[in-house]
Structure 1
Amino acid sequence: MKDIAERAGVSASTVCRALSSNPQIPETTRKRIKQVAETMGYRPDPLLSAFASRRRGRSRESDITTIAYLTNFSQRDEWRDNPFYAKCHAGAAKRLKDMGYKLEHFWLGEKGMTAARLSKILYSRGILGLFMAPIQEVRQHIDMDWEHFSSVTVGYSFMTPNLHRSAPHHFHGMQEALRQVFAAGYERVGLCLFGETSRRVDDLWLSAALVANERRHEINGKKRKMKVARYLFNDETLHSAPEWCQRNKLQVVISDNLVVMHELQAAGINVPGDVDFATLNWEAEHPEISGVDQRPGDVAASAMDMMIGAIQRGERGVPEVPLTTMVEGVWHPGQSLLLA
């Protein structure tokens, strides 16, 4: 404001009143000062503006430091049953609290709710940040009025429009899992994924397995070209996983969750023992299972860093250059790999 005042030949207080459209400043002066400000690239900080308004007693408690957490599952709190999503929410809420913000959940499935109506609600409350949670229907388009918000998402289920996003480094995570099992001496390795989950991670786990099939790996001290067997299943074909495993004479199965392990055990296969197991979505609640911790809390915290930066820079709408931040996973050894 001091720079604008110097350029316009007025006081800083006059600039302040002109930019807030104070009628005490003549309209011609207001227009001239606003034009100078626009030429100089001035953008108000919404957080400071809200704070100043509250201190002057000119506004009620503002929602400008509220970040909307938008979900679109069939049930309001269905996402809480997914450990990855629940930890994403917790990680985002903690990071925002540390930075002076708060996270508030909004559900598009509320009776009578539409994307357009919710956009108006958020905008009227002065909410600037929109955290688009992973969605139930992969690649579904949600027609929010994006131009009003600084928006981010987590993972790859929500792709239209293409927002800034934070995600686990799925490709590296799969590579690390393969390095661990190959180094332990496993030679017959299988990747068994729920097909819809593979789409949710943009097929990056599958891509890493395909690349691994073209590389030579050190197995028991020797460089060898290995083949990773692959099986994508759905609810109707999950029961065939044990037969696929036995047909390929697998020593270890890598999967995205524990459903496959339980299916093998239900078929009379000892896991570990007959077949060992590793997961690409390790959880502290199951330390006995070897696998890659995707660090969902850190993934969401990283997304919040991106959002707060965009808010403070005054960046709204669908980004012209969408950015993706990838968070490296961490390998956790467990008793499910007997050779390790």
Structure 2
Amino acid sequence: MPKPSVPDADAKPPLPQRVTLSDIAEVAGTSHVTVSLALRNHPKISATTRKKVCAIAKKMGYRPDPMLKALSEYRKQTKAARYQAALVWINLFDTAVYPPRYHTFGDCQEGARERAAELGFSLLPVCPKAEGMTPASLRRMLQARGIMGVIVGPHPKPRTRWRWDISEFSAVRVGYSLSAPLLHVVANDQAASSALAIRKLRELGHRRIGMVLSREHNERTDDHFLGGFLGKCMPGLSSGDNPFLVFDEPFNREQWQAWYERFRPDAVIVGGEETGKAIRSFGVRVPEDLSVVIFGDIKSGSFWAYVDQNDHAIGRMSVDVVVGMLNRHETGLPERPCCTLVESRWCAGTSVQKQPASARR
């Protein structure tokens, strides 16, 4: 008589059968295409059907297969990009070309155009003020052209509320100049940029490091540069020391002299090349008397040491965020706005010199 079989102790239990789109479609009484669109929150499917399908999928324990998703994305990337649609870059300045002082915003726009092309989109630059467009006419124009993805560039006036109905668009803003609408943000990691500049200056022996920003620059960055700077510098300072100067434009010698004589820095981080040039015009020898680091991409040669905020990469990242929203059919104001930060890089220049050991305080 044969012996009864003994279960293998090492045998693994059978895997539960994976729930498919067809399984959900059968229960929901619809097609698997409708299920696929509903689970991706596609606007072509009614809200009632989307809610019904999502509830059934949750009850059945449906989970997307990440490997199939990765394979699909790989196949897309290996194909030559073809233009799928257009995205729009909204320039909130008065002119279609950004002023020289704000050339970095143009770098952001160019990065966005480049990345959009790689993903099969064209990028349409629109300057509503220069073109005489109201928020309503801008909205109608985008609707007529079928443009759903929107990148809102920086506003010329910081902490501005821009009133525009974005309920049917996938939108992201670049930088912190807009206080509303509360969209997802792509920006430079400005607190980390301050920390990077401080670290490089300390490596060169500087100990009394100051920061000089215009009020407009400080507000445009929503205090992120200054906050990052104070977080790194204040713990090592004496009581009563004021390591920063936030000035009202135009920057003048009296503002500078009063702060400089009181704090006596051996290095300063400033919010733009114009401020660095102004300090030199006040009779300060750079770098003999004072090392100077600039925030922002410098186009006029290698004299200035600067922290490059990677504006081109910020523009590219803004496209990635918007395209991701389009793929997920996310429109309108996000429930929880997120901020995507891009790191800076240090660019050495002769405006910074190493402090001799005898000068270190």
Normalised to the residue count of structure 2, the TM-score between the two structures is 0.74
User: 227-236 or 143-152: which moved more?
Assistant: 227-236
User: 117-126 or 235-244: which moved more?
Assistant: 235-244
Matched, 1:156 2:176: yes
Q: CA deviation at 1:235?
A: 2.0
Report the equivalent of 2:249: 235
Matched, 1:78 2:98: yes
The answer on whether the counterparts of 1:282 and 1:290 sit within 8 Å (CA) in structure 2 is: no
Letter in 2 for 1:101: F
Name which of 263, 271, 281 aligns with 2:296.
Answer: 281
Letter in 2 for 1:99: L
Q: CA deviation at 1:270?
A: 1.5
Give SS of 1:316's match. coil
Paired with 1:33 and 1:185, the residues of 2 have a C-alpha distance of: 64
The answer on whether the counterparts of 1:242 and 1:263 sit within 8 Å (CA) in structure 2 is: no
Give SS of 1:171's match. helix
User: 74-83 or 271-280: which moved more?
Assistant: 74-83
* Matched positions, count: 300
Name which of 254, 266, 271 aligns with 2:269.
Answer: 254
Report the equivalent of 1:330: 345
Paired with 1:333 and 1:148, the residues of 2 have a C-alpha distance of: 45
Matched, 1:310 2:325: yes
- Alpha-carbon displacement from aligned partner over 1:37-93 (angstroms, at most 9, x marks no partner): 652149xxxxxxxxxxxxxxxxxxxx9621111112122323566221011011111
Give SS of 2:161's match. coil
Paired with 1:85 and 1:141, the residues of 2 have a C-alpha distance of: 19
Q: CA 1:246–1:33 in structure 2 vs 1: closer, same or farther (change >3 Å)?
A: closer
The answer on whether the counterparts of 2:189 and 2:344 sit within 8 Å (CA) in structure 1 is: yes
Q: CA 1:38–1:258 in structure 2 vs 1: closer, same or farther (change >3 Å)?
A: same
- Alpha-carbon displacement from aligned partner over 1:189-222 (angstroms, at most 9, x marks no partner): 22110111111111111112222343249xxxxx
- Alpha-carbon displacement from aligned partner over 1:153-200 (angstroms, at most 9, x marks no partner): 111001201100111110011011111112211233221101111111
Paired with 1:88 and 1:66, the residues of 2 have a C-alpha distance of: 17
RMSD: 3.1
- Alpha-carbon displacement from aligned partner over 1:24-44 (angstroms, at most 9, x marks no partner): xxxxxxxx99965652149xx
Q: CA deviation at 1:283?
A: 2.8
Matched, 1:39 2:59: no
Name which of 251, 261, 279 aligns with 1:264.
Answer: 279
Matched, 1:119 2:139: yes
Mapping 1:1-340, distance limit 5 Å: 6-7=26-27, 39-41=52-54, 65-79=85-99, 82-110=102-130, 112-216=132-236, 229-243=243-257, 244-283=259-298, 285-339=300-354
Paired with 2:171 and 2:292, the residues of 1 have a C-alpha distance of: 38
User: 98-107 or 208-217: which moved more?
Assistant: 208-217
Structure with greater Cα Rg: 2
Q: CA deviation at 1:313?
A: 0.5
Paired with 1:175 and 1:289, the residues of 2 have a C-alpha distance of: 18
The answer on whether the counterparts of 1:212 and 1:228 sit within 8 Å (CA) in structure 2 is: no
Paired with 2:279 and 2:48, the residues of 1 have a C-alpha distance of: 70
Q: CA 1:76–1:239 in structure 2 vs 1: closer, same or farther (change >3 Å)?
A: farther
Runs of 5+ in structure 2 lacking a partner? 1-20, 39-44, 56-82, 356-361
Q: CA deviation at 1:131?
A: 0.4
Matched-pair identity in %: 25
Q: CA deviation at 1:260?
A: 1.8
Runs of 5+ in structure 1 lacking a partner? 20-31, 43-62, 218-223
The answer on whether the counterparts of 1:171 and 1:204 sit within 8 Å (CA) in structure 2 is: yes
Q: CA 1:36–1:247 in structure 2 vs 1: closer, same or farther (change >3 Å)?
A: closer
Paired with 1:34 and 1:69, the residues of 2 have a C-alpha distance of: 29
- Alpha-carbon displacement from aligned partner over 1:82-123 (angstroms, at most 9, x marks no partner): 221011011111111110011111112145421111111101
Paired with 1:235 and 1:33, the residues of 2 have a C-alpha distance of: 54
Paired with 1:229 and 1:82, the residues of 2 have a C-alpha distance of: 26
Paired with 1:131 and 1:303, the residues of 2 have a C-alpha distance of: 7
Q: CA deviation at 1:241?
A: 4.7
Paired with 2:351 and 2:160, the residues of 1 have a C-alpha distance of: 37
Report the equivalent of 2:70: none
Q: CA 1:111–1:101 in structure 2 vs 1: closer, same or farther (change >3 Å)?
A: closer
Paired with 1:102 and 1:162, the residues of 2 have a C-alpha distance of: 25
Letter in 1 for 2:115: R
The answer on whether the counterparts of 1:64 and 1:128 sit within 8 Å (CA) in structure 2 is: no
